Amino acid sequence: MTVQTRPAPDLSAALGAMSLATRAVRRRSLVVLTGLLVLLLGLVAARVLLGDYTITIPDFVRIVTGADIPGASYILLESKLPRAVAGTLAGLALGATGATFQTMARNPLASPDVLGITLGCSAAAVSAAVLLDAPGGMVSLAALGGGAAVAVALVVLSGTHPGAAPGRMILVGIALAAMLVSVIHWVLVRADIYQAHEAMVWLTGSLNGVTWSEIRLLTLVVVVALPLLLYVGSHLQVVELGDDLASGLGRHPRATRTRAIALVVVLTAATTAVCGPIAFVAFLSGPTARRLLRGRPSLLTAGLVGAVIVVAADYLAAYALPGNNFPVGVVTGLAGAPFLLWLLATSRPVKETA
Model confidence pLDDT, tens digit, residues 99-124? 998 888 777 777 888 788 888 888 99
Confidence of residue 202 (pLDDT cuts 50, 70, 90): confident
Confidence of residue 39 (pLDDT cuts 50, 70, 90): very high
Confidence of residue 297 (pLDDT cuts 50, 70, 90): confident
Query: Contact at 8 Å (CB) between 312 and 43?
Result: yes
Residue 312 confidence (pLDDT):
94
- The pLDDT of 118-142, averaged and rounded, is 84
Residues 268-285: tens digit of each pLDDT: 988 988 888 898 898 889
Residue 31 confidence (pLDDT):
92
Rounded Cα distance, 298 and 233, in Å: 8
Residue 354 confidence (pLDDT):
40
Query: Contact at 8 Å (CB) between 289 and 298?
Result: yes
- Residue 349, phi then psi, degrees to nearest 5: -60, 140
User: Looking at residue 80, what DSSP letter applies?
Assistant: I
Query: Contact at 8 Å (CB) between 207 and 87?
Result: yes
Residue 222 confidence (pLDDT):
95
All structural domains of the chain with their residue ranges: 31-62+69-346
Task: Assess whether pLDDT exceeds 70 at residue 5.
Answer: no
Confidence of residue 94 (pLDDT cuts 50, 70, 90): very high
- The pLDDT of 32-48, averaged and rounded, is 94
Least confident of 20-24, 36-40, 57-61, 227-231: 20-24
Residue 305 confidence (pLDDT):
94
Residue 14 confidence (pLDDT):
63
Of the candidates 286, 232, 296, the residue with the CA atom closest to the CA atom of residue 25: 296
Confidence of residue 53 (pLDDT cuts 50, 70, 90): confident
Average per-residue pLDDT in the chain? 82
- Residue 127, phi then psi, degrees to nearest 5: -60, -45
- Residue 41, phi then psi, degrees to nearest 5: -65, -40
The model carries a pTM of: 0.86
Rounded Cα distance, 269 and 41, in Å: 26
Task: Assess whether pLDDT exceeds 90 at residue 87.
Answer: yes
Rounded Cα distance, 96 and 307, in Å: 10
Residue 324 confidence (pLDDT):
77
**Which CATH number applies to 31-62+69-346: 1.20.1090.10, 3.40.50.720, 1.10.3470.10, 1.10.1740.10?**
1.10.3470.10
Residue 143 confidence (pLDDT):
86
For residues 333 and 251, the model is more confident at 333
Least confident of 66-70, 148-152, 255-259: 255-259
